Structure 1
């Protein structure tokens, strides 16, 4: 009986996420900038890496060689740079300040064009941006809860107001027809591009602090502040599971579904990475990321087909994690 109790305690300690019990970090691959990042993104295929520093240096790096692929000239930037992202095919870079969206060609290393956007409230500012997989459509969300649905080819724009507070999350579906929104009013909605009619809406008690969709756009993860964290289905919003953990308070920020396993990776406002079973909602572990400055957080994550997870933090450090070690659990 005593041996059984000891084994159970050791097993629970292993699941607690202590990096000493199950070290899955492979260490820092590279630190791309000396100064901290305002924004950062690992591209969808992991080949490129976008950094926006505190001094508004905007660079696109080749991940493997650690060399600069393209740096946006300072005289072209829409300052202050508040939003930036790489397109799914790595060809385009889009950035926005308070009221203007700009498009750059990464492959052509040139500025393409810029478009001004507004909200229903004339004082509204851009709160989030998204680009469709074929680069033809853009979503420009505003702090008043409105969304601009812009066709970048025809320059046509439809605007509607699905939320009452700033929209912090936007995700396009794989075909660029559907998109998901999440806002500080606690609402999550699924919409068809060009239409103001919701396919479904869910309202939570607190503001949405994390929202992510899986690779085939069939499930999404949402964190309702400190209250509850759910994995739900698209397009009906049905409950799949709810995350389970022992901590009294746990903040959720970035989230990523691991395409090769039934896993969800999440980050916190602190320097922590957590992994979860998407089948049971159980926490498999929480680890501390490598940092240079106190308070550094994860700004982007990328998972490979070989079971590796890469995290980019606000210290511009790219760290690798071997998820294959979790198979023993």
Structure 2
């Protein structure tokens, strides 16, 4: 029996609606600050949470007890705080203002050193940072599209200009040998640390607003901000899937692979969390996060090994999501 196309479309719409109606939030875990949060990062194991408040305080909290693990003294913070990074082993916090990166020891609760960085243009400011897993290599992206590749041990720095506009995204591989870059020029590139020769490059029509890699650095997700959202293979750049959704435009901000890369979580600028199947690009659902102020958005995400996704938003709200409910669909 051949079903009419209209009937099939109706059934598909009903199925999609069911997925969107599934409630997967386990509620608010904790609100960490009465101030707004401009930046956030979970530690690799999800036990610590790094945040920058609206007044420029740099805070490191324990997720389980909600206690402050370390606060950088306000009078010593490099302001204005443009970027912060927590090392993979949770021992270092990097804080950058317009042109200087400060390295702080979490165990010693003291600054180790300060290093200035510049671009090809003398007025270029810092727009992105990434620290290698072994803490020996640092990437510092600049507003003019130039990139500093600094060896922390030797203090040697190689600089080149892979982008024509500000660099916004930098991602190291598991060994610190390769890295991805993405900029407002719409270009992404895969590079070997210390070399200016691209392993591959691709340019999109609009600025890159989101860039994420799987834990094993075998795949990445890229969004150009309006109509092109792709999951691709590393290190070839071959496409695996393109995200499918009914809206004409969809803004992508934060993104992270979860469930060993089977799912992709993304956030928007409108207090929304979305989940996607990475093999097909199918949208599994979109949900509204819990906020205290209109317009709050997700600043960091982390998935554990027990089917939980945690989101931290600009209202300092930590919320837990049950991914097992999605897998059951």
- TM-score, with normalisation over the residues of structure 1? 0.96
Aligned twin of 2:71: 71
Deviates more, 1:125-134 or 1:72-81: 72-81
Give how far 1:8 is off: 5.6
Aligned twin of 2:191: 191
Aligned twin of 2:46: 46
Aligned twin of 1:139: 139
Q: What is the alpha-carbon root mean square deviation over aligned residues?
A: 1.5
Partner of 2:293, secondary structure, is: coil
Give how far 1:260 is off: 3.2
Aligned twin of 1:205: 205
Aligned twin of 1:83: 83
Partner of 1:208, secondary structure, is: coil
- TM-score, with normalisation over the residues of structure 2? 0.96
Aligned mates of 1:31, 1:327 — CA distance in 2: 28
Is 1:238 matched up with 2:238? yes
Aligned mates of 1:12, 1:100 — CA distance in 2: 48
Is 1:126 matched up with 2:88? no
Aligned twin of 1:318: 318
Pick from 10, 14, 18 the counterpart of residue 14 of structure 1. 18
- What runs of 5+ residues in structure 2 fail to find an aligned partner? none
Partner of 1:14, secondary structure, is: helix
Give how far 1:75 is off: 2.3
Question: Which of structure 1's runs of 4+ aligned residues deviate more than 6 A?
Answer: 4-7
Give how far 1:12 is off: 2.6
Aligned mates of 2:112, 2:191 — CA distance in 1: 28
Aligned mates of 2:285, 2:212 — CA distance in 1: 20
Deviation digits for residues 97-122 of structure 1 (CA, Å, limit 9, x no counterpart): 00000000112211110100000000
Judge conservation of contact 1:214–1:259 (CA < 8 Å) in 2. no
Deviation digits for residues 40-96 of structure 1 (CA, Å, limit 9, x no counterpart): 111111010011111111111111000011110122211111100111110100010
How many correspondences in the alignment?
Answer: 324
Classify 1:94/1:269 alpha carbon distance in 2 versus 1 (closer, same or farther; 3 Å). Answer: same
Give how far 1:9 is off: 5.2
Is 1:273 matched up with 2:277? no
Aligned twin of 1:304: 304
